[in-house]
Every structure is written in structure tokens, then in C-alpha cells.
Amino acid sequence: MNQEKMTSSSSLTILYDTIRWEEKALYEAAKKKGVHVTNVDCKNLFIDLNKKNSEFSKKTIIQRCVSYFKSLHSTAALEGLGAYVINSLHTATLCGNKLFTHMVLQNAGIETPKAFSEESALLALEDLGYPAVIKPTIGSWGRLIALLRDKDAARAIVEDRAHMFPLYHIYYFEEFINRPPRDIRAIIVGDRVVAAIYRYSGSDSWKTNMALGGHAEACPVTNEMEDICLKAASAVGGNIVGVDLMEKEQDGLIVHEINNTTEFKNTVKVTGVDVPGLMIDYTLSLGKK
Amino acid sequence: MAKCPECDAEIRIPADSIEGEIVTCPDCGASYELLKTEAGFEIKPAQVVGEDWGQ
């Protein structure tokens, strides 16, 4: 979390491809604090990758692209030209891939669902057991995540994937976690967990993604949760991240995902915490270090 | 106000709108992105949700 870069503390750039509630809230929070804020549409961004003394050098940029690939590549280009991007390329690379995140969390001693990744997918599932969850290593909003209740379901999914883009030939399975019908999204800004929500599954779904019609409620931030979340954020080098946790029966809180351009609309709505204002304050404070 | 290119309905553009923001036609539900021009805001069809979107 301690990245030392030269930044301009009185101005910042928000890089977006779509202005959602979150991007507008960040923009308005920055303006309210008297910050000179520029919104840059990544879709119109032209970056000379070889330019010396680039106009992006030493700029503080909050990366908010909703597109994973746009976000990753623009972060790489801008950081390479000397901009200070929140979150960094290192963080984006780790958080954007579930298998990468899994390994980092495991090595940091943070509980995360048991997982397998094998060429021989069905053999791996025999070891993991059913039910199991198959996830694409890159992807969001619950897309292409499937609950495999038995070998027949697994065989059907694996066969389908054989006809898909090679990314989907990397089989990443997680144990199915027995938990209440909810998970937790905690928002970490610097070295604080500033707010957390429970995300409840929508009707007819076991997935808790808000994009799939679930609903949110405020979740108290316990010392245990704060400790786990800060360790998880540190493991990926994240400045501002959303950590997703599940309440595993008997074992307690486990981390299953870290989001480097986290959504926070529902968090603000149900907790009343000024998350965008805290994000702007933190970003500016980094520039002063 | 802007006219929806799909169904011709009036789309209200809030006073605090910013460039890049998404507005939705109240009649047909089509989404548009706001473009700032000298004359005010214009609209263009918004990107559909991409396969790699989300967090």
C-alpha cells in the first residue's frame, strides 16, 4: 500500500469509460473539496507510449474503467509514463484474475475457498468433491460462474467450455461454501475499512452479486473483519479496494475476491458513509506524502 | 431535453449532468451517453454492457 510516487495533490484525473453513480459521486466529492478534477474518457484516450516527459507524468489518476481490459491496459500505459494510478498495475493484475488472487491470499495466510485448477477438469473435481463452483479466472458480476452439483453437470459445462475462447479452458474450481444467503463487501480506503455491506442473493439465485438483483444491508465492521481485509488489501498492494468475504460455517470469515475498481453505490446507500469523499481525501493525502 | 432517436420521446437532461453520464429514455428504455457541445448536451447511443465489465 505504500507506493511512493511524485504526484500533484491539488488536482486529479478520473479515468472512466462509462460514468456510473460511482464516477459522478467521486467527481462531485472532488469538486466539493476544491480539487481541480478532470474526467477523461478512456474511449477517447490517445497515449503515445514512447513519449518522454508525457503529459501524464506525475499525474494522479483514479482508475474507474468498468471494462477490465481497458482498465488494465490504460493503467499499464499511464503508469509506465510516470502517472500515479490508483490502483496500480500490480494490484489490477492480481485482482483481475481469481487464480492470481487466490495464490496471493493463500501465501499471505488469509483464508480463501479451497480451489483447484487443472487441465484435467473432471479429475480435479473428483478431488474437490461436489457441489463445486466453476469460475472464469477473469470476469465479474457473476457471469459464467456455475454451481456444479454433480459429475453430469460438470461434464456438460466442461464440454461447452471446450468450444469457447482459450481463457475458458483454464479450469478454476472452488469449494461450495456453506454460508448464509449473503456475502460481505467491505470497502478499504488506505489503512481503514470505511464501510461494509451484506449482499443478499436475489430470489432464485445463489449468487450475491448486486448486478443480479440482490439487495444490500449495512454490515458492522468488526475487528476480525478489519484485520482480514487490511491483510487482503496489503497482499495485492491495493490502495482503494473492495474485499468480498463469506461467512463460512465453523471457519468464520474467508475472502473470495478483491476488487480494484470497486463499486460502492449500494454501500453509500445503506450505510450513509461518504465513501467517495473518503476516497478523494485519501488520494490527495497520497500526493502530499 | 433531447429527442430519443429510437422512439422520439423527450429525454430530460438533469441540470447537474456531466459529460459521459448515461441517460435513459423514459419511454423505450434506450440508454444514451451525454456529449458536451457548445450548444449544451447531445446524446449518442451508450455502449452496451461488455463481456469484461464489472467489479
Task: Report pLDDT digits (tens) over A163-212.
Answer: 999 899 899 999 999 999 899 999 999 999 999 999 998 777 788 777 67
Burial class (CB in 10 A: 0-12, 13-18, 19+), B25: buried
The CATH 3.30.1490.20 portion of chain A extends over: 115-175
pLDDT over 60 (residue A78): yes
The predicted model gives B6-33 an average pLDDT of 93
Tell me the shortest Cα–Cα distance from B13 to chain A, in angstroms.
Answer: 15
**Residue pairs spanning A and B at CB distance below 8 A:** 53
A226-267 tens-digit pLDDT: 999 999 999 999 999 999 999 998 889 999 999 999 999 999
**Interchain CB distance below 8 Å, B54 and A69:** no
The CATH 3.30.470.20 portion of chain A extends over: 178-278
**CA distances for A163 relative to A157, A220, B2, B52, angstroms:** 10, 44, 44, 19
* Mean pLDDT computed over every residue of chain A: 91
Residues of B in contact with A15 (CB under 8 A): none
Residues of B in contact with A17 (CB under 8 A): 47
User: Taking the complete model, does pTM exceed 0.80, yes or no?
Assistant: yes
**Interchain CB distance below 8 Å, A18 and B55:** no
Which of A188, A258, A257, A174 has its CA nearest to residue A221?
A188
Spatial contact of A172 and A99, defined as CB atoms under 8 Å apart: yes
CATH superfamily of A115-175: ATP-grasp fold, A domain (3.30.1490.20)
pLDDT tier for residue A116 given thresholds of 50, 70 and 90: confident
Q: Does A24 touch chain B (CB under 8 A)?
A: yes
All residues at 6 or more sequence positions from A150 whose CB lies less than 8 Å from its CB, including other chains: A130, A131
**Interchain CB distance below 8 Å, A260 and B55:** yes
The CATH 3.40.50.20 portion of chain A extends over: 11-94
User: Which architecture, in CATH terms, is B2-45?
Assistant: Single Sheet (2.20)
pLDDT over 70 (residue A113): yes
CATH (residue range A11-94): 3.40.50.20
Hey, what CATH topology would domain A178-278 get? D-amino Acid Aminotransferase; Chain A, domain 1 (3.30.470)
Mutation for B interface: A15, A17, A18, A260, most B CBs within 10 A: A18
